[in-house]
Structure 1
Amino acid sequence: MDGQLLDVRISVRSCTIDQSNHPLITKFVSRDYKDGVIVKDVAGIVIKVGEEVTRFKEGDEVIAVLPVNQYFDIKSGICDLPEYFIVHKPSSLSWEVASCCLSDGIKAFDALHYLGRVRAGDSILLCNAASSFGVLATQLASNWGVKVFLTTSDEETGQMLRTMSLDVERTLIGHQFVMNSIMDETGGMGVSCILDNGVLPNHQSMEENEWKKPTKHDVLSCLAVSGRWVTMQHDLQLDPPDSEILHLKNASVCHLFPDALVLSCLHQDKLLHIMDAVMEKAAAGILRPHLMSVLPSSEVSSSLFPTMNRIVLKL
Structure 2
Amino acid sequence: MKGLYCRASASDAEPEFVIQDTVSVLCSHQVRVQVKACGLSPLDLKLLGDMGMLRDLIPVGREIAGVVLQGHKHSFHSLIKPLQTHPINTQGNFICVFFCFCSAVQKPEKLSSVCVAGGLRDGLCAYTALHTHAHMAAGHTLLVMDGASSFGLMCVQLASYHGVKVLTTSHTPQTHTFLEQLRPSVAKVIPVYKDSSDLLSVVLEETGGLGVDIIIDSGVRLQEESSEGMKLLPHKHDIISVLGVGGHWVTSHKDLQLDPPDCRLLHLKSASVTFLNSEVWTMSSAQQGRYLHILKDIVEKMSTGVLRPQPEEAVPLYEATVAMETVQRQQKKKAVVQL
CA contact (8 A) 1:142 1:148 kept: yes
User: Equivalent of 2:201, from 180, 196, 201?
Assistant: 180
Partner of 1:126: 144
Deviation at 1:97, TM superposition (A): 1.0
Partner of 2:336: 312
Partner of 1:114: 132
User: C-alpha deviations, 1:138-188, integer Å up to 9, x for none?
Assistant: 111100101111112232322233345571011111132111110000000
Partner of 2:10: none
Q: Are the structure 2 counterparts of residues 307 and 210 from structure 1 closer, same or farther at C-alpha, using a change threshold of 3 Å?
A: closer
Distance 1:99 1:208 in 2: 33
Distance 2:184 2:36 in 1: 30
Partner of 1:18: 41
- Name the amino acid aligned to 1:284: T
Residues 207-246 of structure 1 correspond to what in structure 2 (within 5 A)? 208=228, 211-246=231-266
Partner of 1:91: 109
Partner of 1:53: none
- Name the amino acid aligned to 1:282: M
Deviation at 1:73, TM superposition (A): 2.7
Q: Are the structure 2 counterparts of residues 172 and 33 from structure 1 closer, same or farther at C-alpha, using a change threshold of 3 Å?
A: farther
Q: Are the structure 2 counterparts of residues 80 and 71 from structure 1 closer, same or farther at C-alpha, using a change threshold of 3 Å?
A: closer
Structure 2 spans left out of the alignment, 5+ residues: 1-24
TM-align CA RMSD: 2.2
Q: Are the structure 2 counterparts of residues 88 and 68 from structure 1 closer, same or farther at C-alpha, using a change threshold of 3 Å?
A: same
How many aligned residue pairs are there? Answer: 304
Q: Are the structure 2 counterparts of residues 64 and 286 from structure 1 closer, same or farther at C-alpha, using a change threshold of 3 Å?
A: same
Deviation at 1:100, TM superposition (A): 1.6
Q: TM-score, normalised by structure 2?
A: 0.83
Residues 195-210 of structure 1 correspond to what in structure 2 (within 5 A)? 195-201=216-222, 203-205=223-225, 208=228
Distance 2:227 2:198 in 1: 13
Q: TM-score, normalised by structure 1?
A: 0.89
Instruction: Find the residue that maps to 2:124 and give its secondary structure.
Output: helix
Distance 2:226 2:200 in 1: 14
Instruction: Find the residue that maps to 1:294 and give its secondary structure.
Output: coil
CA contact (8 A) 1:126 1:134 kept: yes
User: C-alpha deviations, 1:91-143, integer Å up to 9, x for none?
Assistant: 11011112122111111100000001111100110012221111111111100
Distance 1:166 1:65 in 2: 32
Instruction: Find the residue that maps to 1:70 and give its secondary structure.
Output: coil
Is 1:66 aligned to 2:81, yes or no?
yes
CA contact (8 A) 2:203 2:211 kept: yes
Distance 1:178 1:117 in 2: 24
User: Equivalent of 1:160, from 143, 155, 178?
Assistant: 178
Q: Are the structure 2 counterparts of residues 150 and 160 from structure 1 closer, same or farther at C-alpha, using a change threshold of 3 Å?
A: same
Partner of 1:47: 69
CA contact (8 A) 1:192 1:223 kept: yes
Partner of 2:289: 269
CA contact (8 A) 2:103 2:292 kept: yes
Partner of 1:52: none
